[in-house]
Every structure is written in C-alpha cells, then in structure tokens.
Amino acid sequence: MEKIRYISNRGVRHELSDQIFGRICESNSNAADHIITTIKDESNCMDFQFNRHTTSTNNILDYYSGGKLHMPADICPQKFSEELDCWGLPETALDTCCFTKYVSYFDNLNILKVLEEGECKRNTMFEIVATLAGGNGWRSVQARVWSVMEYPTSSVLAKVYLYASNAIVLLSLFLLVSSTHPLFRRKLTKDEWFDYFTTEEEEMYDDYWNETLNDTGIKLPSHVYVEIGALWYLKMITLAYFTTELICKLIVFPLPWREFITILNFIDVLALVVMYTTLIVNQVNPKEQYKDSVHDAVHSLQIFRVFRLFRLVRHITGFRILMYALRASIGDLLVMLLGLCTAVLLFSSLAYHSQDSAFSNIPDAAWWAIITLTTVGYGDIYPTTIQGRLIASMCALVGVCLFALLIPVLVNNYHLFSSHYAGIERRQNLKIQLLTRKTAVSPK
Amino acid sequence: MEKIRYISNRGVRHELSDQIFGRICESNSNAADHIITTIKDESNCMDFQFNRHTTSTNNILDYYSGGKLHMPADICPQKFSEELDCWGLPETALDTCCFTKYVSYFDNLNILKVLEEGECKRNTMFEIVATLAGGNGWRSVQARVWSVMEYPTSSVLAKVYLYASNAIVLLSLFLLVSSTHPLFRRKLTKDEWFDYFTTEEEEMYDDYWNETLNDTGIKLPSHVYVEIGALWYLKMITLAYFTTELICKLIVFPLPWREFITILNFIDVLALVVMYTTLIVNQVNPKEQYKDSVHDAVHSLQIFRVFRLFRLVRHITGFRILMYALRASIGDLLVMLLGLCTAVLLFSSLAYHSQDSAFSNIPDAAWWAIITLTTVGYGDIYPTTIQGRLIASMCALVGVCLFALLIPVLVNNYHLFSSHYAGIERRQNLKIQLLTRKTAVSPK
Amino acid sequence: MEKIRYISNRGVRHELSDQIFGRICESNSNAADHIITTIKDESNCMDFQFNRHTTSTNNILDYYSGGKLHMPADICPQKFSEELDCWGLPETALDTCCFTKYVSYFDNLNILKVLEEGECKRNTMFEIVATLAGGNGWRSVQARVWSVMEYPTSSVLAKVYLYASNAIVLLSLFLLVSSTHPLFRRKLTKDEWFDYFTTEEEEMYDDYWNETLNDTGIKLPSHVYVEIGALWYLKMITLAYFTTELICKLIVFPLPWREFITILNFIDVLALVVMYTTLIVNQVNPKEQYKDSVHDAVHSLQIFRVFRLFRLVRHITGFRILMYALRASIGDLLVMLLGLCTAVLLFSSLAYHSQDSAFSNIPDAAWWAIITLTTVGYGDIYPTTIQGRLIASMCALVGVCLFALLIPVLVNNYHLFSSHYAGIERRQNLKIQLLTRKTAVSPK
Amino acid sequence: MEKIRYISNRGVRHELSDQIFGRICESNSNAADHIITTIKDESNCMDFQFNRHTTSTNNILDYYSGGKLHMPADICPQKFSEELDCWGLPETALDTCCFTKYVSYFDNLNILKVLEEGECKRNTMFEIVATLAGGNGWRSVQARVWSVMEYPTSSVLAKVYLYASNAIVLLSLFLLVSSTHPLFRRKLTKDEWFDYFTTEEEEMYDDYWNETLNDTGIKLPSHVYVEIGALWYLKMITLAYFTTELICKLIVFPLPWREFITILNFIDVLALVVMYTTLIVNQVNPKEQYKDSVHDAVHSLQIFRVFRLFRLVRHITGFRILMYALRASIGDLLVMLLGLCTAVLLFSSLAYHSQDSAFSNIPDAAWWAIITLTTVGYGDIYPTTIQGRLIASMCALVGVCLFALLIPVLVNNYHLFSSHYAGIERRQNLKIQLLTRKTAVSPK
C-alpha cells in the first residue's frame, strides 16, 4: 500500500502521495533540500507543520499533483519568486498566462532602476554636501555656498538665489528672442554705414540711404539692422552675471572634479564661450560683422544660448520624471522612429510614382509624408489626382494608427515612473522627518 | 531550548520563536503594546487567539520572520494601514512594489478631498436654505424665493425658472454673437451720418454716400455699421431682466453675505456694468460712439458678457466634475504648459537659426512651433529648405509625443473624479430617500 | 461577566461579544432576522456553524467590531451585495474607497442592460420566425422567405441573398456618387436645349452653344449637365429592385405590424419615395427640371438615398456594438458637445474682440475656433497679430485637452460593450450547439 | 430526517444536504462522476476529504446551494476552467459579470496563438539549421553559410554580414530616393540629344538648346534629365551585390524548397527583375528610354525596389510584434475602415448637397471628408457657407471620436503581444542558457 504523508500549512492540510513526494525530490535544487530533508527525517511522523504563504503553497502542491502552475492573484510576483526558490522550482514552470504577468513585473522593476539610481545619486550628493557644510574651515564654506547655489530646498537663501538666477536666465532668453524681432532692431546710422563699408560698396550705400529716407519699405538683408542699444546693455549684464556665477562655482565646488562635468555645466560654459566669441569678433574687426559670411557663422552659434532654459526646469519634479521616462524608453522611441521612417519612405515613393504633379521628387514627397503622418497637414503640398489622393488617405490613416499604437508604450513608462516617484519622495520625506525629530529629541 | 509560542488567527496557526517575538517587542510603538502585553501576560498559555485580518497577519508575521513586507491584494490600503498601526509598523517597512501602490492610493484619496469638500459645502448650503424655508416670517420667504432661483431640483417652479432664465441667457449670448454679423447690421442712415459728424469729415461723408448709392461694395470701417433696431430692443429686454434678477437676489439672499461673493455673481454684476456703461457712453455723447478710440474701448468690454454662459452649465454634473478635475490637476497642467514652452522656445530658435526664409524672427517662429506642436498646422508658415523641414518634422513628432505623455495624467484625475462622483451622488440620493421614507412612516 | 458567543464559518472562528451581537440585532432587517433567530435559539450552544463566503464574513464581522466596512477584492460586487442583504446592512455602510468600486460596478451593469435587451429582442424575434418557419401553411412560407431576407445566418440561400442585395445597394450608392462627377455627366444636346427652354432664354442659349463649339471652358451652371444614359438605365434597375423588395417584404412579413416600423425600413421607403418623386417631377414637367428652383429642391432630396448604406453594415457585429455604445453614451456625448460649444463661444468672442483682422465677425470666428479645437486647421482663417496668436494658441491647447479628457468616457463604454458582447455571443452559440446536439440525439 | 454529508476541503468544512447532493448528481457529466462515486461509495462515512482549490470549491458549492456562480479573483480563468470540468459544470453556469472576464481571457489566449505559432516556427527552423551545421559534408557547409546569412545572433560573422548587407540595402534605397532629386540629375548632353532623337523632333531640339543656353528656366519634361554618372555606377554595384546574394542563397538553401517562398525573398527577386528589365530596355532600344510611354512604364516599376527596406527591419523585435499585432487585428481594422468609409460617404454626400461651392462633386467631397476626419486638414478644400461649415464641424468631431473609439482595440492587441513576447523571449533565453550550461558540464 502506498504511504500517504500529510503537510499542514497554516491550517490547510494537503495529502502527499509517494508519487508526488518523488516529484518534489526530483526537483534537484539546494533550496528544496531543506523541505525534503525535513520530511524524510521525520518520516515516521507522517504529518508536517509548515509555515509558508497559503495560496502559493496550495498552487505549488497542485502543480506537483500533475496540474499546471499558476501564480495566485493575492501575492506580489517578488514574494512568489521566493516561494518558488524555496521549493526549487524554475520560473519557467509557470503557465503561459501567469508567466507573462510574472516577467512584466520584473521588467518594470528593471526599468524603475534607472529612476532609483538617479534619485539615489542626487540624494547621496546632497547628503555629502550637507555633511561638509556642517564641518569647519574652507571646505565647509565651500559646501555652504555650493548648497545655496545648487540645492534650493536647503535654505531660504538658496530659494531666493534660485529665483534671482532664474530671472536672469529668463532675461537672457528674452534677449535672445527679442533681438530678432523688428520691434527691437534699428537700421544702421549713416555714420556706422559710412565707417564700415568699403568704396566698392559705395553704390549700395547710396541706394540704401535714398530708400530709407523715402521710407519705401524695400526689404533689406537682415544684417543691415542691428539690435537697439538697450538690448546691448542688458546683454552685457547677463554676460557679467553668468561669468561671475561660473567663477564662483569653480571656486566653491566641494565635490571631486569628476562630478563637475554635467550637461548643464557644459551648456553654461558653451553659452559663455559663444557670447565672448561674438563680442571679440565684433571688436577685433568691426567692419566684418556686417559681412554675410562672418555674420552667419557667428549668428548660428547663438543657438547654444537657448539651452540655458534647461537650467530653469531642472528643479521641477515633473521634468525629472519625464527625463527618466524618456531615457528608459529610448528603445521604444527608436522603434517608433524606425516605423515612421519606413512609413515615410514607403509613402513618399508611392506618392512620387503615382505621377501626381504635386510630388516633384521623393525628398519633397517625404516631407509631405511626415506632415501627413503626424496629421499636421500644412497644405503646402497636396495631391490632386485620384491615385495621389488614395495614397494620401492611406498615409493619413497609417499615421493615426502608427502613433496610436506606439505611444501607449511611452505613456506606460511615464505612468510607471510617475507613480513610483511618489513612493520615493514619500520615503525620503519620512526619512528627513525622522532625522529632524531625532535631533529635536536627543538634546533632552 | 527556545520557547515556541503559537498565534492562532481565525484558524491559521503561526509559530512564534523567541527571536521573532523579540523583533515584535522592538517595534517600539504604543499600538503594538496591546499585542505584546497580551502575549506576555498569558505567557504560560503559549497559544493565543487572535481575530485580525487573515492575509495581512500572515504577511506581517512573515515580515517579522525575516522576509519582506508585502501588502495582500485582497485588502484596501486603508484597512492594511490599520493593521500596520496595530502592529506598530511604519508604512516604509513595505517593499517598493507594494509601497508604490500604497502611496498612490492615499494620493488619490487626497485628490478626491477637493471633490468631497466642494460637494459637501454645496449640500450643506442647500440644507441650510431648506431648513430656513421650512420656518416662518421674512427669512422663510427669502429662503423659498432663493431656492427657486438657485436649486432647480428643489421644486417644479424652480425648474421652470431655470429654463426661463437659461432661455434669457441664451438670447443674450445670441445677441452678442449676431450683432457682429453683417446680416444683423445696417449702414448709418443719412440723418445719423449728418448729425453726428463734424464738418472736417464732410468729404468722407460725400465719398461714403456716393459709394453706397452706387452699391460698389467698398469696405467701410466696421463701426460705420450699427446693429439693426430689433436687436437693440431685445438687448434692452435682457438688460431689464438681468437687472431685476440681480435686485431680487440681493433682496432675498438668506445666507451670510460672505457667501454671496462667488465667481458667477461677479460675472453677472460685471456684465451688467458693461451694458450700462455702453448705454451711458452712447447717450451722453452720441457723436463719440462712432469715433474709433471710444468705440474700441467700449467694444472690447463686451467680451465680459460672454462669461454669462457659465450660468448655463453650472447645474450640469459633467461640468462640475470637469471643473474639480481641472482644479486638482493644476500642477500637472502647469508642467505640461512649461513643457510646451520649452519645446516652443527650443524649436523656434532652431527654426530661426536654420536660415529658412519662412522664419523671419523668433516670435513668428514660436507661433509656427505652437501650431505645429498641437498638430493644427494652418499652413501660413512652413519651411522650404531641407534643414528647416528636418526641424519641422522633429517639432511635429515631439508635439505628438508630448501631448500623448502628459494628457493621461489629466485623464486619470477626471476618471477618478467621475467614478467617485457616482458614489457621492448615490449616497446623497439614498439619504434623501431614507429621509422621505421616515417622514412618510412617522405619522402612523 | 460578558457572554462570549463564537461563530465558525468554514473553519474560521470569530468571537462575538454581547456588544457586537447587540449591534447585529440593531440592524433592523428581515434578512438579518434569520441569523439573529438562529443564534438566539441555540443560545445555550454558544458555537454556531455558518456556511457563508469567508472573506466577506470576516469583513462584515470586523465592521460590527467597530472597524470600517471594506469589500474583499476576491469577490464580485454582486455576490457581496447578497452577503450585505443577508446581514441586513445597507450598501452605504461601505467605506468610500470600496463604495466607489461597488457603485461603478452596478452602473456598468445598468449600461450593459441596453446591449442585453437589444440582443435579447433580436434573438427572440429570430426564434419566433424560426418556429413559424417550422410550421405549415401560408404563415410558414412567409416565415421562410422572411428569414431568407432578414437572417443571413439561417441558411445558405439567405447568405447568397445578402450578398446580392448588398451588391445592389453598393451599385445604388455608386450611382449616387458618380452621377455628380464630370466623368459621368454630359452636356445637354442641342435638341434638349431647344425643346426645354423658353424664348426669353434664347440669348443664353446662343451664348451657350457658341461657347461650347469653341470649347472655351467657361463654367456653366451644374444643372446644364445631365448624367449619361448608362447611369440612367442602372438607376432604373436599382429602382425596380428596391420596389420589388419592398413589396415582397410587405407580403411576407410574418410578425405583428408594429415590428415593421424600424429605422431601416423607414429609410428604404423614404429613398424609394425620393426616387419616384424625381422621376415623376421630371416626366410631368420636363422643362422645369432645368430650372434652378425645382432642380435644387429635387436635388437635395437625393441625400436620403445615401442612408441606404446602413443596410450594408447592420449585420456587422462591430457596428452593432458601436451603435449600442453610442446610445449608452448619449449623455456623455452631450456634455462633450456642450463643452465644445462653450469653448467655441468663448474663443470666438475672445478672437473677435482681439481686433485681429482675420476675425471679421463672431460666427466666422466660431468656425475658426471649431477647426482649431479639433486640430484640423484648414488655414483659411488664421490670426496675424500677437494677441490673436496667443488666443489661437490657447484655443489649440484647450482643444487637445478637451478631447483627451472627454473621449476616454466613450472609449470606456465601447470597451465594456465589446468585451461583454463576446460573452453574449459565446453563450448564444453554446445554446445553439446544445439545441442541435439534442435534436441529433433524440431520434435514437 | 434529511441526511447531512460533510465535505472537508483543505480545512474548510461544507454542509451537503440531500437536496444539494441531488443537484450535483444531476449535472450529468463524466468528470463529475468521480466525485459522485467517491461520495456514494463511502456514504456511511459522511465526511469526505477533498484536496481542490479552496475559493473555487467554495464558490461552486455555493452555486449548488442555490446561489449564482462567480469566479474567484485569485485564480486564473484557465485553472477555474479545470475546476468546472471536475464538477461537470458548463462554463455558461457562470454569472454574466464573471463570464465576460472568463471569455475575454480565452479570447486573448486565442489571439496570442498567432504570436506563439509564428515564433515557434522561427525557432524550430533555426534549430534545424543549427543541427545541420553541426553535421558533416555539403549539407553542413550549406547550413553554416545559411545561418551566417539568415541568423545574425548565431555568430559574430553573421552579425558582420548583417551590417554589411543592411548598408547595401540602405545605399540602394538612397539611390532610389536621390535619383529623383534635381541635385543628382543632369540635363541631356548635346550629343545624347542629337543621337537619340528623330528628325521630326528637330524643332523641339532647337527650342530646347536655345532655352538651355539662355538659362531661362523653362520647365522641361522630367525624363529629359538623367541621373548623374556616379549614381549609375553605384546602382551597378548594388545590382551586382543583390544578384550574387540571391545566387548564394539559392545554392546554400538547406531547408525544403517550400520554405524558400517567403514574402522577403519574393521582394528580392522582384526588385532584381525590375532592375534588369530597366537595364535591358535601355540597352536594347536606347532611343525609346526618352519617350514618355516607355519611360513611364519602366519608371513605375521602380516602386518595387522600395520594399527592400523590409529586409532592414525584419530582425527588430518591435517590428515583428507590430506585424503579429496587425495580423491579429485584421478584423478590427476592417471594421474601422468600414466605419471610415461610412462616415466619408455620409459626409461627402451631405457636403455636396449643402450646395457649398467648395464641393463641386461627391468624389472631391470624399477626399475632403477623409482629410477632415483624420484631422490632417490640408486646407485645399474648405466650406464657406453656414450649412457647409456646420457639416464640416460635425465631420471633424466624428473623426476625432471615431478614431478615439476604434484605436484602443488595436492598442489592446499590441499591448497583449508586447507583454507576452517578453515572456516568450525570457523562456527562450533560459532554454539556451540551460543548453549551453549542460554542454559545458557534460564533458567532465
């Protein structure tokens, strides 16, 4: 007769026939050894007390009895993974439906690591600076100034500095934008014109001044206009501020220099270099600044000044989450871009070969395809023949579907990070509260 | 030998070694005291009867045995929080995966408070008025009239009043809209023209009349046309109605005056002031109303009359939920706006520096960037060079992604409010039903 | 000393102090009577065997012990509602978080009733017809023909009829569409022209023929062109088919006449009436058909013929679900429309008063606002001033957010219906399978 | 007196009255026989030990006691289905709410079969090739070359080959695109012109050369321009590569020939045929290549070369998932297309009959309707009358709603496949790891 053993787990009693017991022994694993040894040792007792998770144990013993292995819904996959380890079962023993859930849970945990590590590094650096600031000597002064400049939550002064510094950045951005608008530009004066231009350009000069005096509104090349004086003075102020700030930062930086090389600092330095280059070029050879070639080269560099706006948003939680989410979704974004490229290439070729006069060559058709796929639809290029319109309709439909299909993946990551971040923040705040409470209690 | 205690919780038996018991005692908290004392007191018994939530107790005792703390799936975070309190565990003891769920549950409860408080205030005020109306004297008359004017669900008369009042508001909006359309405007008559204009404008007058008689269709400045008489009479009717209504409201307002200062009442008063101002300006100095400067100033004020339409929608549930959801998502909306601003600034600068002739200055390029990011794509400005088109393509892509990423946060809040509101409404209706049933039963 | 009772429910033992027992007795309800009586009757026994849902009973007894009432996650709200009834507890006893879930579950059930009832009626009618078809005499002939015409799943012949009938409907739609295209139209012949027109129109006639002979391409009023002969003959064929079909339907209709009045039959009749009217008008007074007034009136009626396309889609499951979902979401759609109207009115007023020359009157601005809010952006109207562009930007943003906020409600209903429909279909198929198996088994 | 039996299932004790036992016996099924026999045989014992899933057994016994059958939330529908089989209950016994969940679970499993089967076939073929490669002789050489050409994960050489091959494909696509752009085209030389054209075309020749010399920029037919020489040489290189590759593939193909007929191979062959056709046509009759008719025919064939880009994306996981998801959603896509067609037909008819001059015939109006429904809005056709604008507004609204309603179905499938694929990949990787570990261990 078969020997029947019983396992009692938190009030639930399981029959364990020889056959099933054999299967448990076969799962050749160190983790399961503990269970098997216990059962074998006390084999005269026939009834074992267990103390493991109820529904998991039920499901695992059902699996040994010949069924399929499912994960109970009332347990975190992480805890279930511990249960599996204990019984020496591989995770692939799980049935397809539950395995999908199990894997996507751990995938999500992996994705969240990016966020955890980033925030952890931030917090660690803040704590190092805070510790240094609590010390004595030059290092402590450095750390105190640095926390004013970098950590707006550390003190009231830091908050004030943040607002002042952001105001200057906003001013610098306003200067960049407004200096291109007619409202903030003036024509060259007669003297400037006369001083800087060569005699060969004399005729141009004559035409120019006659036209201006008559206010005929003929369009002149944009570099003939220069920004008004007020803007120039404001620009000098921002230049002075950014230079001072960078020097201060270099003096008081309390951490290993390796940490100084961040993207934000790089942008700061670059924007300053651009401003000084413009200034020097204009001073060294004033005549040249009105020449097209030099003007264009110097002009294009100004674009680096706009990246300063990332300084404004770095302390906003929503942006940090967005950045982490984007970094984690880089793979999905590339697939989306590739999908878009495929669609663009396909539809632009189709459109060009449809012999619709709207599409004169494939690169033009590609531009039209992108604008149609994103449903922007400027209307600068549009088909007029039946075959062209059929292709355009398909293009618009594919665009709507393509974005609808691929965006939820991004959204999913953002959601994940957003809700997880709330947890991290709560934990951090509780930690700080406990620390302050302890400090308040200890003097007693 | 180690002393083993047992805890029996609703049929589930747990081993409690000295080590684990020690850990429970260490969790130094008032709440856990009760459990510890019980166990210590009856330490000769070794087997304790508990009566707490089954899976929570399992998980918590597993945690004390050295595992991680997970929240069971079959319990509300709120109830689990009570279990944690009882065992003296802090919420941070929860493992990351469950902590995220736990925190987001309480975050949602916090968000819903806005809705609960708003609806609670509304219901309280309605009950105060209803109580007043049940009394005697002038106050009761006030309350009765007030509930007719403000609470359409209170009586049939109130419903009729609501529809009548909404009809007048609709008429007033129709007048505002139609008075700008050529169909409802006429040219000045010869007399009006002759009366109001100065001699210097005589020539203009001649030109005007000759043109009109010939029906040449030359475009005249818009203020030369005035609204037709019928509209004027209808406007006077709405003016009379709104004036009467406001006076009535002021007379019968039964609540403390502080409650009168609501946005809707402010709009009512403002719209009336605008109407009277226009009327008075036109009467005092009729000639001036055809002059550009005065006309424009008075004309721009009319915009306040359009806000009356909020009176139409205030009793619609969907709108109230939308308003609460918007108020709760103000932070997320700001992040979205900031994200948009960043993208606009970045792309407008890039576009301007791409030296595409379509972008003549950054403010113009910013307008183009907004219209491209939202995928509206008017087509008034569009790039024609390769670099310009590349930037525009990126801009369109970023727009699609940006809105796809940030909108779900808003949607989430709306969903939350929408489903929660159904619960509040059901509860309120059952309350009213019970009250009416009681009233019906009590006379027996 | 307090008397302690015990309740054992499926192996879980609960303490029941006098105080708690008193609370249960207070919940004055017929349903709870059974429990109370049982306990009171056997009060000498002190230990009662129960056989109810485990976690629900736990939660309800916890509630009586002074806690809050939560719904266990492992139970359907419907079953929990039975448990509440049994204990005599009102649903409002539930804590907020669970009450929201509870209410939205029953709300969903209510929404699904529309689908259940519609499909139920469909199936009932099919079964009545099938029963009639199984009988004898004229009624059975009627029912058989009717099931061929209406129930394509009933037989192969019915399927063939469906495809043939759909082909004719498609032809009729093709005729409607193509008859407006230049490719399928010809100019009036000289005779037709000469016959039909009055002498006053003689000059027009001369101009017309001179122009045509010279092929100058001057645009003529559209009614001067008539559809080519082939189309006319095909139209007569569809007319004959639809007339025959309607007569057949009227003869064989086997159900009470009340059931005949459906929207699809109404469209059929209307489209036929329109076709005959056109035919008669053209025959009675051939000259008039080229006159603008008569032509336009008759022409506009043709629109009713397009509704025939609903005949094509009525047997497609996806469409039926969509229709049910739309009917259930009519309230949400109205709120969405109202929201759109509010936004349109607000932005059109703001745009008009921004004194941007693009917005000449409010109705025009309203058209612009709709096209911007839906992000279509034709580009026929667009602002050029700064204030106008700011308003347009806000408008585009609000549009994106508005639709993002309100559409998920629709989507939710569609999802609900779609997944629920799968269940209904499966059940219906199993029912039919069982019926056929029974019929196959019974002869033995 | 009624005989009461008891069933004990893992510590949960159920009363089983005669009535309930009768109902279990009635469920006439082989599966339930086992249970019934057990109970009947030991009918003198009255207490049976069971060992089945706890909550399922509870719910099923509740159902026999007269309640409704619900599925517990803590169990996979698949496992619950086994429980139902064991008790001999049909799945339709489930209450509506749970039945929907139950059916949609199995529907999802069915949808996922497409993915499982596709990936399974891929893996099987890879294993066959790997096995062959491990053998000896010509077959093994074939298999080794084939795995280099087809399975980039199999070796480093295969990866290098993939990149090289992709570079050539990219080059070929670049040639296709660039050959249409003015930058890469030149005018015919005087000799080419003179050689190829007949005397009748002499005048055209004169005009052409006079124009060109004067650089008047008059637009010439596109075929007068030919691609520059460099492009022609590069094209020859790609032609040589693709020809060699195809021959290699044909020589080394180690599997049954039936497997060779894939879409990708078909595209390869077709693109080669197109290239050779063009080459031969141009060589055989050089003069003809500048004639419109021949040019157009040959030109249109080039479109097949663009499909080569699918070779680039076939090894990217995201694309494969997308393809499977699209194949599984073909039904939903058709419903969406049909819905779009319905909307287009409806709105184009309405727009045409609104007598707005923008819509000159229904096919044109249909083009406008598609572009409005997808919210692209080129702005080439837009209404100007009030009735036309109302219809356009409705059209835009319906478009936004239609896509919002039907896209989530697609998204759902993509999500399903995406998360399921992660599971399949993990399982495959673990399998390979185990295999390599075994191989590493076995030599000992």
pLDDT for A147-189, tens place per residue?
888 888 878 899 999 999 999 999 999 988 888 888 887 776 6
- The pairs formed by C28-36 with CB atoms below 8 angstroms and a separation of 24 or more are C28/C88, C29/C88, C29/C89, C30/C88, C31/C85, C31/C86, C31/C87, C31/C88, C32/C86, C32/C87, C32/C88, C33/C88, C34/C86, C35/C86, C35/C87
Torsion of CA C92, C95, C101, C106, to 10 degrees: -10
Return the partners of chain C (3 or more C-beta pairs < 8 Å).
Answer: A, B, D
Mutate to test the interface with C, among B7, B52, B76 (most CBs of C within 10 A): B76
> Between chains, do A182 and B361 touch, taking CB under 8 Å as contact?
yes
Contacting residues of C for D345, CB less than 8 Å apart: 173, 177, 306, 309
Q: Do D378 and B375 touch (CB under 8 A)?
A: no
The DSSP code sequence of B65-114 is: TTS-B---TTS-HHHHHHHHHHHT--GGGB-HHHHHHHHHHHHHHHHHHH
Residue A28, pLDDT above cutoff 80: no
> Chains with ≥3 Cβ pairs under 8 A against D?
A, B, C
**Nearest residue of C to residue D351, measured between CA atoms:** C303
Quick one: pLDDT at residue C441? 47
**444 residues of chain C, pLDDT tens digit each:** 456 677 777 767 777 777 777 777 766 555 455 666 665 555 555 566 667 787 888 888 888 877 788 888 778 888 888 888 877 788 888 887 788 888 888 888 887 887 888 888 888 888 888 888 888 888 888 888 888 888 888 788 999 999 999 999 999 999 888 888 888 877 766 666 666 555 555 555 555 555 544 444 444 555 556 778 888 899 899 999 999 999 999 998 888 888 888 888 888 898 899 888 888 877 776 665 555 555 666 777 778 888 888 888 888 877 888 888 888 888 778 888 888 898 999 999 999 888 788 888 889 999 999 999 999 989 899 999 999 999 999 999 999 888 877 777 677 777 777 777 777 777 777 776 766 665 544 443
Q: Name which of D150-164, D323-337, D347-361 the model is least confident about.
A: D323-337
- Residues C362 and C348: their CA atoms lie apart, in Å, by 6
Contact between chains at D375 and B379 (C-beta distance less than 8 A): no
Minimum-distance CB partner of D11 among B11, B73, B378: B11
The whole-number pLDDT of residue A105 equals 85
A333: closest CA among B369, B375, B401?
B401
- The least confident of B281-290, C336-345, D136-145, D253-262 is B281-290
Kindly state the average pLDDT of the residues B51-76: 81
Tell me if B306 and C55 make a contact (CB, 8 A cut-off): no
- Write down the domain spans for chain C: 4-94, 139-187+228-314, 193-224, 326-441
What was the pLDDT predicted at D309?
Answer: 84
Between D227 and C216, residue with greater pLDDT: D227
Quote the pTM value. 0.85
Residues of B in contact with A173 (CB under 8 A): 345
Query: Strand, helix or coil at B7?
Result: strand
| Dihedral of alpha carbons D264, D268, D271, D273, sign | negative
- For C349, the closest chain B residue by CA position comes to B303
Q: How would you write chain A as a 3-class SS string?
A: CCCCEEEEECCEEEEECHHHHHHHHHCCCHHHHHHHHHHHHCCCCCEEEECCCHHHHHHHHHHHCCCCECCCCCCCHHHHHHHHHHHCCCHHHECHHHHHHHHHHHHHHHHHHHHHHHHHHHHHHHHHHHHHHCCCHHHHHHHHHHHHHHCCCCCHHHHHHHHHHHHHHHHHHHHHHHCCCHHHEEECCHHHHHHHCCHHHHHHHHHHHHHHHHCCCCCCCHHHEEECHHHHHHHHHHHHHHHHHHHHHHHHCCCCHHHHCCHHHHHHHHHHHHHHHHHHHHHHCHHHHHCHHHHHHHHHHHHHHHHHHHHHHCCCHHHHHHHHHHHHCHHHHHHHHHHHHHHHHHHHHHHHHCCCCCCCCHHHHHHHHHHHHCCCCCCCCCCCCHHHHHHHHHHHHHHHHHHHHHHHHHHHHHHHHHHHHHHHHHHHHHHHHHHHHHHHHCCC
Of the ranges B429-443, D146-160, D393-407, which one carries the lowest mean pLDDT score? B429-443
B339 to chain A: nearest residue by CA? A319
Interface B-D, measured as beta-carbon pairs within 8 A, has a size of 11
Check pLDDT > 70 for residue B216. Answer: no
Matching CATH number, D326-441, of 2.30.30.40, 1.10.3080.10, 3.90.105.20, 1.10.287.70: 1.10.287.70
CB nearest to A377's CB, from C73, C74, C377: C377
Mean pLDDT of D63-68: 79
Which H helix or E strand runs over B18?
helix B18-26
Q: What is the DSSP letter of B416?
A: H
CB D312 within 8 Å of CB D169 = yes
- The predicted pLDDT at position B195 comes to 62
Write down the H helix ranges in C16-90. 18-26, 30-41, 54-64, 77-87
| Identity of the residue numbered C144 | R
**Which chains are within 8 Å of A by 3+ CB pairs?**
B, C, D
Could you please state the CATH topology (level 3) that the domain comprising B139-187+228-314 is classified under: Four Helix Bundle (Hemerythrin (Met), subunit A) (1.20.120)
| pLDDT for B245 | 92
* Spatial separation of the C-alpha atoms in residues B72 and B68, rounded to whole Å: 12
Greater pLDDT, A87 or D225 = A87
Name the closest residue on chain A to residue D402, using Cα atoms.
Answer: A400
- Predicted confidence (pLDDT) at residue B213 exceeds the cutoff of 60: no
Pick one of 3.30.710.10, 3.30.950.10, 3.40.640.10, 3.20.20.100 as the CATH number of B4-94.
3.30.710.10
Return the structure tokens found at A32: 């399961």
The strand pairing partners of A226, in sequence order, are: A186
Percent of chain B surpassing pLDDT 90 = 15
Which residues in chain D have Cβ-Cβ distances shorter than 8 Å to B399?
A: none
pLDDT of D35 strictly over 70: no
Quick one: pLDDT at residue C11?
67
Dist CA B317 CA B309 (whole Å) = 16
Dihedral angle sign, alpha carbons of residues D48, D50, D56, D60: negative
Q: Does residue D340 contact residue D370 with C-beta atoms inside 8 Å? A: yes
In this prediction, residues B223-240 reach a mean pLDDT of 82
Q: How far is D380 from chain A (nearest CA, A)?
A: 7
Of C107, C338, C339, which has the smallest distance from its Cβ to B422's Cβ? Answer: C107
Distance of CA B258 to the CA centre of its chain: 22
Inter-chain residue contact A82 with B67, CB threshold 8 Å:
yes
The answer to whether the Cα torsion of A197, A199, A201, A207 is positive or negative is positive
B172: nearest Cα among B235, B103, B246, B96:
B235
Place of tokens 């045409």: D352
- C57: tokens are 């009973």
pLDDT for D382 equals 93
Nearest chain A Cα distance for residue D376, angstroms = 4
The answer on pLDDT for B225 being more than 70 is no
Q: What percent of chain D has pLDDT over 90?
A: 15
Model confidence at A443, in pLDDT bands (50, 70, 90)?
A: very low
State the best of C16, C57, C103 to mutate against chain B, taking most chain B CBs within 10 Å: C103
pLDDT band for position A438 (cuts 50, 70, 90)? low
Q: Provide the pLDDT for residue D390.
A: 93
Q: Which of A92, A346, A377 sits opposite D430 (nearest CB)?
A: A92
Residue D419 clears pLDDT 50, i.e. is over it: yes
Distance CA B86, CA B310 (A): 49
- Interchain proximity A345–D306, CB inside 8 Å: yes
C196 or B214, greater pLDDT: C196
CA–CA dist C220, C223 (Å, integer): 8
The minimal CB distance from C76 to the residues D97, D378, D386 is found for D97
Q: What is the pLDDT of residue A215?
A: 46
pLDDT digits (tens, 9 = 90+) for A360-410: 888 999 999 999 999 998 989 999 999 999 999 999 999 988 887 777 767
pLDDT score at D34? 60
How many contacts, defined by CB atoms under 8 Å, are there between A and B?
A: 165
Residue B335's pLDDT is: 81
Q: Phi/psi of residue A50, each to 5°? A: -115, 165
Chain C positions touching B340 (Cβ under 8 A) are 397
Q: How far is C-alpha A89 from the geometric centre of its chain's CA atoms?
A: 39
What residues of chain B lie within 8 A of the CB of D375, using their CB? 375
Higher pLDDT, A124 or A50: A124
Structure confidence at residue B1 (pLDDT): 46
CA distances from D79 to A109, A163, B275 (A): 27, 60, 72
**Interface with D, mutate which of C71, C184, C376 (most D CBs under 10 A):** C376
Hunting for tokens 């974004």 — which residue is that? A333
Dihedral sign computed on CA atoms, order A137, A138, A143, A149 = positive
Q: How many CB pairs (< 8 A) connect B and C? A: 167
What percent of chain A has pLDDT above 90? 14
Give the gap in angstroms from C-alpha D49 to the nearest C-alpha of chain A: 9
Of C415-429, D259-273, D283-297, the one with minimum mean pLDDT is D283-297
CA A328/CA A334 separation, integer angstroms = 12
Q: Is the pLDDT of residue D211 over 60?
A: no
Rounded Cα distance between C142 and A442, Å, is 96
Identify the weakest region by mean pLDDT among A302-311, B216-225, C138-147, C188-197: B216-225
State residue A248's pLDDT score: 92
Looking at chain B, which subunits does it touch, using at least 3 CB pairs closer than 8 Å as the criterion? A, C, D
Amino acid at residue number C381: I
Q: How is residue D101 annotated by DSSP?
A: H
Q: Tell me which chain B residues have a C-beta less than 8 angstroms from the C-beta of D55.
A: none
CA distances from C76 to A67, A439, C211, D68 (A): 26, 50, 79, 11
| C410 contacts C332 by C-beta, under 8 angstroms | yes
Across residues A41-49, what is the average pLDDT?
56
Which residues face C15 on adjacent strands?
Answer: C6
